[in-house]
A = this chain, B = another copy of it.
Amino acid sequence: MSQLNILQPPQTKGHVSVVKLPDHWFIACTSEELKRKPLAATVQGVPLVLFRERGGRVAALLDRCPHRNVPLSVGKVRQGRLECAYHGWQFDSAGTCRTVPGLCGDAEASARNCPSYATRELDGFVWVYSTADKQPDKEPFRFPFVDDSRYTTVRRSLSMQCTMHAAVENALDVPHTGFLHGGLFRTSKKSNEITVKIKRGPDRVEAEYEGEPAPRGLAGRVLAPGGGMVQHWDRFILPCVAQVEYQLGSRYHVMVSSAFTPVTDFETRMHAAVCIRLPVSGRLIKPVMMPVALRIFQQDSQILKLQTALIRRFGGEQFVHTEIDVLGPHIWHLLRQAERGVRGDTEGSILERRMMT
């Protein structure tokens, strides 16, 4: 029936920047979201059910009863086990079927088990390991400074309609700020040539901006009211973390860490913690920062949604990269290596780029 859709846009490569990463940790939900009831969450397209065992430890199973394929997340937690709403089958935290009501004989049989996923609860987030029935060989990313009393921390969890790669590139992309967030973040009036150093590690890539003036615009006036030169780093850490760090002398320090969860191809959930150390009281930061940060996020979210709709309409991406897309292609390279299970091959290498700001 191919004739039913012949009026298509021009052909593209049919490529979309989506990976499926085995053996990695992603945030499934916040600690707050997981209460007494089981909770449905999707990670990399896989429907999961999260629940708390006796004592509160988090368990994660594939969200499908092996019996009649009803979602277990509409069931109940009974005495630390997850009970299916349809026929009352019960599963423990390892996914083992422990009860089949009505059955004469043993409930346990391997075909009746659910795949289970390792979990960690850290820094207020519930992480799940992306490979079922496997012990992790590494631990999740830790959010720096969230427990440091010298810092004011603001957390936000938000959903975006785009690939994880597009969300991460956007979070670490400098050139769009003057246009999409023109006025809020920086302006394009004056122009300085600066140097960007790009460092690759086995699980990360970092851009260091040298000689950059303090951010201008409204955000700049809040972050660095006295102006001056700042140190600025943008980092991507496998599999899902974007970090933006600003240092202004020894008294101002801003660390924005965002962990992105690929929910489906074009749905990404961001869990961000903004940690700020200022010489003034942190109580002033939230009421001033939050409206600006939310406006920036809305603008990013809207443009990424439009990008996604167009990519879907054309059946794929067709991006052109320039010298000043300093991190996007590196991030994609790291994600592809991780998907193939290959260790980063460019540890310690440093590139330099020039950019006008």
Residues of A within 8 A of B (CB): 1, 3-10, 14-16, 18-20, 44-47, 62-64, 66-71, 74, 83-88, 100-105, 111-112, 115, 132, 166, 174-176, 178-180, 188, 193, 262-265, 303, 306-307, 309-320, 322-324, 354-357
Name which of A263, A303, A320 has the most chain B CB atoms within 10 A of its CB. A320
Beyond the given A4-B16, A69-B317, could you list 6 further A-B residue pairs with CB under 8 A, ordered by the A residue number? A4-B14, A8-B45, A47-B313, A66-B318, A69-B310, A84-B179
Contacts of A1 in B (CB 8 A): 14, 315-316
Contacts of A64 in B (CB 8 A): 310, 314, 318
Q: In the complex, what distance in Å separates the CA atom of A69 from the CA atom of B355? A: 22
Q: In the complex, what distance in Å separates the CA atom of A193 from the CA atom of B102? A: 9
Picked from B69, B100, B312, the residue with its CB within 8 Å of the CB of A307 is B69
The 5 residue pairs across chains A and B that have the minimum distance between CB atoms: A7-B45, A88-B179, A102-B175, A104-B354, A66-B320
Q: In the complex, what distance in Å separates the CA atom of A179 from the CA atom of B88? A: 6
Given A9-B46, A322-B100, residue A310 in contact with residue B16 (CB < 8 A): no
The contact sample of 17 A-B pairs, CB cut-off 8 A, is A4-B16, A6-B45, A7-B44, A7-B265, A10-B132, A47-B313, A67-B322, A69-B317, A70-B303, A84-B179, A86-B179, A86-B303, A87-B179, A88-B179, A102-B175, A103-B355, A103-B356
Of chain B, the residue at the smallest CB distance from A311 is B69
Q: In the complex, what distance in Å separates the CA atom of A180 from the CA atom of B244? A: 50
Q: In the complex, what distance in Å separates the CA atom of A103 from the CA atom of B59? A: 49
Cβ contact within 8 Å between B310 and A70: yes
